[in-house]
Amino acid sequence: MLISIIVPIYNSSAYLEECIDSILSQTYTNFELYLINDGSTDNSSEIIETYSRKDSRVNVIHKYNSGVSDSRNMGIKAARGEAICFIDSDDFIDNDYLEIFINNFQNHSTLLIQSIKRNNQAISNYKIKTYNIDNEIIDLFVENNLLYSGAPFAKFYSRSIISDNHIFFNKDISYGEDLIFFLDYVTHIKNITFLNSTKYNYRYISGSLSTSKNHSLKNYFRLHSKISEFIAWIKSRTNGNLKYFYTIDWDMIESGIDQNTHILSDEMKTEFSEFKNTIHYQHFKFASFNRKILFLLIKINNYSLLKIYKNIFFKIRKRLAS
């Protein structure tokens, strides 16, 4: 089986060689590697060109800076393999990472997921089992906290499922685009299998895009909309308890509000008003006391009163913490 590995790159020269070396030293060798240079201003371009001259499996694509989602999408469109793996350019993989996936591959309707480690310590807490999407969708997400595990790496995606269903990363948002991609993918498969394997090495870099928290309210609204859409999809399949999903949806809504209430603009008020029609009784039912107040303020579409409430809440929380 040919595997297409997609690595988006932006100013990653400090870690790039370790990343590429870990891929090229895989025990499973039937892969193609796409290094997508997203307009880097350091010497990442020179590094990847050197590798492309040494190994025929390396494919280099240079483009203007348009973001990680656009880079991954470009890799998807170029890919020829049956399976797709995404790897971040500041991370690296153990030499049997691909072999583990291949040895456990069953069919394209089953998504394989490995655990992730940082500094040789596992940071994933998955249950090592296979879940059936039709019968165990709620347990699958609740037991593995999957709404916070939407990152594309350490997953063995089927290219045919991605291409046949036109699943791409939303390049118009800067946070949660990977979760949206993952949720779209889940609706087109039958099973998810968590492997007893931790071969992906994640590098936490303070100040990187993945650790930044400055994202627009519109960004959070799109993420909330996708989670709401996914909840509706689950409802069509089961009558189980959906508290987990509404709680995480609230996390997204409140994070977006907390990060943007300092902005005074008509545009912000308009974006805030969009939540009014997308939160419902179930949001109120599964909300904490503070979020029930937030629910009512959203429903009456009072942005000014919301700002006052949030300022008071922040002051009280700060005082209690001191």
> Which domains, ranges and CATH numbers included, belong to the chain?
3-211 (3.90.550.10), 217-321 (no CATH)
Please tell me the predicted confidence (pLDDT) of residue 110.
Answer: 98
Query: How big is the chain, counted in residues?
Result: 322
Residue among 20, 211, 17, 51 nearest 118 (CA)? 211
Please tell me the predicted confidence (pLDDT) of residue 24.
Answer: 98
265-321 confidence digits (pLDDT tens): 888 889 999 999 999 999 999 999 999 999 999 999 998 888 888 888 777 766 766
Please tell me the predicted confidence (pLDDT) of residue 212.
Answer: 53
Residue among 12, 203, 193, 195 nearest 96 (CA)? 195
Average pLDDT, stretch 200-211?
72
232-264 confidence digits (pLDDT tens): 999 998 989 999 999 999 999 999 999 988 887
State the chain's mean pLDDT as an integer. Answer: 93
Whether residue 138 has pLDDT greater than 60: yes
Please tell me the predicted confidence (pLDDT) of residue 86.
Answer: 98
For residue 141, give both structure tokens. Answer: 């997400």
Whether residue 322 has pLDDT greater than 70: no
Please tell me the predicted confidence (pLDDT) of residue 267.
Answer: 85
Q: 145 CB contacts (<8 Å, ≥6 apart)?
A: 125
Average pLDDT, stretch 12-18?
96
Please tell me the predicted confidence (pLDDT) of residue 30.
Answer: 98
Whether residue 127 has pLDDT greater than 90: yes
Please tell me the predicted confidence (pLDDT) of residue 257.
Answer: 92
163-188 confidence digits (pLDDT tens): 999 999 999 999 999 999 999 999 99
Question: Strand 110-113's sheet: what is its strand order?
Answer: 58-63, 31-38, 3-9, 83-86, 155-158, 110-113, 191-194, 130-132
Please tell me the predicted confidence (pLDDT) of residue 204.
Answer: 83
Pairing of β 116-118 and β 121-122? antiparallel
Whether residue 134 has pLDDT greater than 70: yes
Instruction: Please report which confidence band the pLDDT of residue 47 belongs to, taking 50, 70 and 90 as the band edges.
Output: very high
Please tell me the predicted confidence (pLDDT) of residue 207.
Answer: 53
Q: What percent of the chain has pLDDT over 70?
A: 96
